[in-house]
Structure formats: structure tokens, C-alpha cells
Structure 1
Amino acid sequence: MPVVVQLLTALLLLCLSVAAQAEKLRIVTEPWAPYVYEENGKTLGLDYETTAIVFKRLGIDVEWQLLPWKRCLAMLEQGLADGALDIFRSDERDALLLYPSEPLSDVEFVMFYANARPHPFRSLEDLDGLTVGTSPGYLYSQAFRESTRFKQEAAPTHEANFGKLQLGRIDLLITDRRVGRHVLKALQLGDQITESPTVVSRQSQYLAVRRGAGMDLLVQRFGAELKRFKHEPAYAELSARYGAGPAARTAQPDTVPR
């Protein structure tokens, strides 16, 4: 093989290698079953599997990390992660992140309380003097965040929050309906804790990436392919497996972005 051909071949391989590395994304998220979680060393979940399929179709390699949510946000701010899975859109984050036009899924935030200490919830006024369990790093709405009617107390995990609720260390906790049901089933606490029917807020969650060169094109490609996949039987089967039917769109004013 002529030397020139060898050099051109080596240069082409080098360019392909650099391009492949440039396409590799580091995506962070918190375990948030049934949307994303680990089981027996394998990552599962509706939004994780959906995202993995879309990225595979786009030919993009992804490095995944499941971490506490507060750490995920810190890594985004420090440039140690390229994007986050299942993040809610907010004005505070628009300067840092880009979002596809198509969300991954919709969530409904509700209150949970212990049957032994019932606190039915209809509005923030019902929380006077109570302690509500929250999650660190979650960006709650201004009305919820600034309310002086009740105390907010964070726990490191959703399981810890439900444990505190069962023991009476908090009066209620707020989390997504499906996440709460999944944790209650795993902890076998379904007969001891009740889910309030009142929806505090409904939100869409996304795969968002840090702003940077080429990222605007990436989110456009991702959004278009995600929308296409959602119309396929494979997505319907995936949704059915995780019990994720379509959420209603009549959102109430108090929002709780993750």
C-alpha cells in the first residue's frame, strides 16, 4: 500500500475516532423508578429505555451515571456531565440547558400520608403547622418553596422519606404518583400509607443537555426521533410494561419541577 494511501487511511481513522468520542455523552440522573432505576446491576425504566433506544438510532454512544439528584445538578453546572435524564424545565435552567421539543413523560406530584396519622390534602392551606418530606436538589415552585405555613424536611432518598413518614417523623411527603406507588410496593407499606387524590402539579420531564457546540442540533434530532418512536408499537409495549398511561393535561397552578 502506497505511503500516501496509508497516511490518508490513518488520518481518516483518526477523524472517525475523534468524531466518535465527540458523540459520546455523559448523562446523569437519579434513580426515579419506574422512570429510571437499577435492578440486579441492570439499568431499567420507561424513560431510560426510551432514551437508550433513541440514542442508539441516532448512533450516539452514552455513558450513564445514577447519582443523588443534587450531585447530578452540580455536575451539570460544573461541566462534568453533558446532560440529565428526567429533568423538569424551568426558567432558572434555561441559561444552562437545552431541551428537545418532545418530553419523555409526564408526572403527577401528590401528597402521601400515614394511615395512623391521616392528613388529607386539598391545598397548601391544609399544611398549616405540618412537616412535609421533600427531596434535596429538587426545584419546587415558588409558592411551595416560600410558604411559611409548613416546614420542609429533605431526605436523601425516596425510601428514606417513606420510612420517616411511617415512623411519624414527618406528616406528609410529596413525590410523583408512580414513584410513590413503586416505593410503597418495594417497601411493602401499601397498607400503611395513603396517596392523596389531589394533584399538586403536573409536569413534563425531559432529556436535557448543556448548551454547547452542536448541542442544538442534537436536541432537535433527539426530539424528532423520540416523537417518531412514541408512535410505534414498541413504545406502547414499553409504556404498558411500566404502567405509564397518558397523564391528564389540566395542570393546577402550583408547579414542582424536579
Structure 2
Amino acid sequence: MPVIARLTTLLLLCLSFAAQAEKLRIVTEPWAPYVYEENGKILGLDYETTAIVFKRLGIDVEWQLLPWKRCLAMLEQGLADGALDIFHSDERDALLLYPSEPLSDVEFVMFYANARPHPFRTLDELDGLTVGTSPGYLYSQAFRESSRFKRETAPTHEANFGKLQLGRIDLLITDRRVGRHVLKALQLGDQITENPLVVSRQSQYLAVRRKAGMDLLVQRFGAELKRFKHEPAYAELSARYGAGSSANVAPRDTVPR
């Protein structure tokens, strides 16, 4: 498509939102410190980054924080225009468009109770154990199909850590920063330990449903996001929410959200 035609289509898309007083409806699950609600205000590294980018693009957004399975259902049913902090998977390509630039990278690790320690270096060491998971998350084939351990879901990350503390599960898997945030909020840092092995790393995105004009919006979003991530304001935002990483990674075990 010629450049002028592409720009015209994007302009018409933006004007359409304004003229119809419509907003992009973006759904996501509370996933602190990437996105969460506190005292009636939505906060978080990826939420605030996305809000800044959309503001620069002149796009109004309606946000909804819901359980992840409901977020996915709303996308499939056309009740939401996009999702924040969704991982890329081939099976979602028919439904969703992803920018070239990810919002952030997550590191999935496991946690265990100090009273019942289960340190490990590979998934093969988890014979007979029960691992807490989150509903609606599409885990890797290796994790999902392993017969060495059981998987048990809980409705929230807080519930999973409560089950771990009470001995109802042996381990739980979640993002490193999410786990640390929950432990701090629940004041369980002295009772639960983070296993150092990174089970997987994965990039998370702002993805939108495939429909007219969205491909150009995604391109513009990715370009503006990339620019913003090179600015001091993004570095300050990232530092505020504890960006960090580890080099100890288990290969070939991705965990799409």
C-alpha cells in the first residue's frame, strides 16, 4: 500500500474513534508490577507505558481488569479490541496482531515454602510434586505434558501463594517480579523462597484483534513504543517497577500467557 494511502487510513481510523466517541477496549489481568489497581487507580510498568504511547497517538482507551480466562474469551467473542501483556503464540496469530516491539520481558521461576523446601535444577527433579498454576495461561508443552508432577490452578496469584504457605501445593510458577511483588504485599518474604532457575523467558505485548485499520495502528504503536523506551522517562519508569533479569535459564521451555 502506498505511504500516502497508509497514512490516510490511519488518520481515518483515528478520526473514526473521535467522531463516534468510541474508545479502544483493552482488557488485562492484574499482573503487578506490570499492571494492577491500587486505591481505584490503575498503575504498573506496562500499563503506564501503554497509556503514554496511546496518548501520543491520540487514541482513547477504556481499560478493564479481569481474570485472564475472561480476557481471552472477550477477545475471541469480539467484546474487547485488545489485550495488555499477552504473550505471542502461533495459534493466536489468526485472531490477534502484535507490534514489532514488546512491552517487557518476563522470567518465569518457581517458589517453594521454606518449611517444605524443593530446590531444583531441572523439571525432571519434580517427581510426585504439585505445582500451582494460573487458569487460562498457556504453558509450554514440556511443562504442560510432563507426567512427573501435577498441576493445580488457583484463581489468583495471592491464592496460589496462600496454598503454598499452607502446604496445599509444593511449588508455584509465576513471573519473578510478579512473585516478588505478591510476597511483599502478603509479607511472606521470610517464609517463601524463589528458586533461582529461570524456567523460561517470554516477551509480552499489547495485541489487538484483526480488523480494519488495526494493522496500521499496531505499526504506529510499535514505532512510538520503541521511541519511548529510549527516553529517560521510560528508564525512570522501569527502575521504579524493579526491572531486572537473571542469566540462569532453562532452555526450550517457554510459557505463553
- Take 1:30 and 1:62, find their aligned partners in 2: how far apart are those partners? 16
Farther-moved stretch of structure 1 (18-27 vs 229-238): 18-27
**Deviation string, structure 1 residues 223-244 (Cα, Å, up to 9, x no partner):** 0000000000100110111111
Deviation at 1:249, TM superposition (A): 10
Deviation at 1:245, TM superposition (A): 3.4
- Does the 8 Å CA contact 1:29/1:67 hold for their aligned counterparts? yes
Change (3 A) 1:239 1:160: same
**Deviation string, structure 1 residues 89-120 (Cα, Å, up to 9, x no partner):** 00111111000000000000001000000001
Deviation at 1:9, TM superposition (A): 21
Change (3 A) 1:147 1:20: farther
Deviation at 1:203, TM superposition (A): 0.4
- Take 1:79 and 1:139, find their aligned partners in 2: how far apart are those partners? 20
Deviation at 1:250, TM superposition (A): 6.4
- Take 1:68 and 1:152, find their aligned partners in 2: how far apart are those partners? 19
Deviation at 1:182, TM superposition (A): 0.2
- Take 1:123 and 1:232, find their aligned partners in 2: how far apart are those partners? 39
- Take 1:49 and 1:121, find their aligned partners in 2: how far apart are those partners? 36
- Take 1:11 and 1:248, find their aligned partners in 2: how far apart are those partners? 41
Change (3 A) 1:97 1:116: same
- Take 2:183 and 2:45, find their aligned partners in 1: how far apart are those partners? 18
- Does the 8 Å CA contact 1:107/1:247 hold for their aligned counterparts? no
Change (3 A) 1:118 1:20: farther
TM-score (structure 2 length as normaliser)? 0.92
RMSD of equivalent CA atoms? 5.8
Deviation at 1:121, TM superposition (A): 2.0
Deviation at 1:78, TM superposition (A): 0.4
Structure 1 residue ranges (4+ consecutive) displaced by more than 6 angstroms after TM superposition = 1-6, 8-15
Question: Greater CA radius of gyration, 1 or 2?
Answer: 1
- Does the 8 Å CA contact 1:202/1:249 hold for their aligned counterparts? no
Identity of aligned residues (%): 91
**Deviation string, structure 1 residues 21-47 (Cα, Å, up to 9, x no partner):** 376200000000000000010000000
**1:221 aligns to what?**
220
Change (3 A) 1:161 1:237: same
Structure 2 residue matching 1:17: 3-state secondary structure: helix
Change (3 A) 1:80 1:5: closer
Change (3 A) 1:125 1:226: same
Change (3 A) 1:10 1:51: closer
Farther-moved stretch of structure 1 (25-34 vs 237-246): 237-246
TM-score (structure 1 length as normaliser)? 0.91
Deviation at 1:143, TM superposition (A): 1.0
**1:243 aligns to what?**
242
Deviation at 1:146, TM superposition (A): 1.0
Deviation at 1:58, TM superposition (A): 0.1
Deviation at 1:20, TM superposition (A): 3.9
Farther-moved stretch of structure 1 (10-19 vs 119-128): 10-19
- Take 1:40 and 1:155, find their aligned partners in 2: how far apart are those partners? 24
Change (3 A) 1:249 1:120: closer
- Does the 8 Å CA contact 1:100/1:222 hold for their aligned counterparts? yes
- Take 2:253 and 2:129, find their aligned partners in 1: how far apart are those partners? 18
* Structure 1 unmatched runs, 5+: none
Change (3 A) 1:150 1:218: same
Deviation at 1:124, TM superposition (A): 1.1
- Take 1:90 and 1:256, find their aligned partners in 2: how far apart are those partners? 10
